[in-house]
């Protein structure tokens, strides 16, 4: 049974930082591209970042470029999202997801992400 468990969310003031983690089990983690998505209240879920199986290729939504950094440790089956210079508009539930393939398309197409975590809440106050 595949499980993705996010952690690291919380409440911070604008300009602050958080580091999200996503620990995977039940799958060969190193075979899958991994993504971070978020959903704010009343809005559609959107792609935030994607990292290929090796960690060598990453993609970011324009709204987070230069502020967020995605990384992974395949030895620990763990995905990370370092979030700096947080803004109130970053407030959302953040989800990690495992793709059915090892590379990222750059378009954050949700259909290629087969497994999803339950999410961790990030709240940024002004």
* Contact between residue 86 and residue 25 where contact means Cβ atoms under 8 Å apart: no
Q: Supply the pLDDT for residue 104.
A: 92
C-alpha angle with apex 101: 37 to 24, nearest 5 degrees? Answer: 60
Residues of the chain above pLDDT 70, percent = 100
For residue 62, what is the DSSP state? T
What is the spatial distance between Cα 43 and Cα 58, in angstroms, rounded to a whole number? 25
What is the spatial distance between Cα 70 and Cα 64, in angstroms, rounded to a whole number? 11
What is the spatial distance between Cα 4 and Cα 56, in angstroms, rounded to a whole number? 21
Give pLDDT tens digits for 47-91: 999 999 999 999 999 999 999 999 999 999 999 999 999 999 999
């Amino acid at each position: 049974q595949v499980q993705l468990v996010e952690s690291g969310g919380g409440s911070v003031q604008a300009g602050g930082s958080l580091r999200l983690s996503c620990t995977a089990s039940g799958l060969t983690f190193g075979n899958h591209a991994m993504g971070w998505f978020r959903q704010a209240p009343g809005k559609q879920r959107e792609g935030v970042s994607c990292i290929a199986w090796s960690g060598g290729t990453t993609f970011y939504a324009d709204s987070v470029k230069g502020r967020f950094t995605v990384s992974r440790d395949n030895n620990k089956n763990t995905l990370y999202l370092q979030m700096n210079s947080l803004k109130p508009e970053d407030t959302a539930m953040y989800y990690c997801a495992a793709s059915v393939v090892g590379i990222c398309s750059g378009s954050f197409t949700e259909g290629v992400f087969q497994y999803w975590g339950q999410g961790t809440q990030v709240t940024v106050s002004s």
